């Protein structure tokens, strides 16, 4: 593929990703959490328990910002702090049952919306999208590698 075609493909992929995320954020409102809180909770649910430093790195924010987010999530009963088994001076952040429930219900709403969107196109397009996912997943896994 030529560089020009790669750039066109990248532009289209970027636009599609942005539009899908904007649509999905609308169903996220039902969780009652802001985008940053929901994102941090997602990392804790699927990758936790984590230290504040690990969570800040995963979310690409500074530790003081993550501290404020975690404090808000704690006040809502969605996460709790645990002593780090390797270092008692460090705390880990873990999801509570309530936090896990809210996050998983939100994921169900997102998936339902995507099912609706996919249902609006024909079987051939559905198959093309399904076939493209493997390649997209591979591209997403190559974080930090360039061309």
For the chain, how many structural domains are there in total?
1
Residue-wise pLDDT for 10-60, tens only, equals 999 999 999 999 999 999 999 999 989 999 999 999 998 999 999 999 999
- CATH at residue 116: 1.10.10.10
* Whole-number pLDDT of residue 142: 82
Q: What strands lie across the sheet with 79-83, from one edge to the other? A: 50-51, 91-95, 79-83
CB 49 within 8 A of CB 86: no
Residues recorded for the chain:
147
Write the DSSP assignment of 54-92 as a string of letters.
HHHHHHT--HHHHHHHHHHHHHTTSEEEEE-SS-TTSEE
Residue 146 lies in a domain: no
Residue 110 lies in a domain: yes
CB 94 within 8 A of CB 48: yes
Residue 126 lies in a domain: yes
SS3 8: helix
* Whole-number pLDDT of residue 114: 95
The boundaries of the domain holding residue 124 are 3-140
Q: Please determine, for residue 143, whether its predicted confidence score (pLDDT) is greater than 80.
A: no
Residue-wise pLDDT for 96-134, tens only, equals 999 999 999 999 999 999 999 999 999 999 999 999 998
- Which of the four pLDDT bands, split at 50, 70 and 90, describes residue 141? confident
pTM value is 0.81
Interacting residues of 67 by C-beta distance below 8 A, sequence separation 6+: 52
Residue 38 lies in a domain: yes
Residue 115 lies in a domain: yes
Residue 147 lies in a domain: no
* Whole-number pLDDT of residue 147: 42
């Amino acid at each position: 593929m030529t560089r020009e075609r790669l750039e066109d493909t990248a532009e289209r992929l970027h636009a599609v990703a942005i539009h899908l995320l904007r649509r999905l954020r609308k169903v996220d409102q039902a969780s009652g959490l802001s985008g940053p809180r929901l994102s941090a909770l997602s990392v804790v649910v699927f990758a936790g328990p984590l230290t504040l430093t690990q969570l800040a790195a995963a979310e690409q924010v500074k530790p003081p910002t993550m501290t404020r987010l975690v404090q808000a999530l704690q006040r809502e009963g969605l996460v709790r702090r645990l002593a780090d088994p390797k270092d008692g001076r460090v705390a880990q952040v873990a999801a509570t049952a309530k936090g896990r429930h809210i996050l998983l219900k939100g994921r169900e709403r997102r998936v339902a919306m995507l099912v609706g969107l996919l249902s609006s196109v024909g079987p051939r397009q559905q198959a093309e999208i399904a076939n493209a996912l493997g390649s997209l997943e591979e591209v997403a896994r190559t974080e930090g590698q360039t061309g």
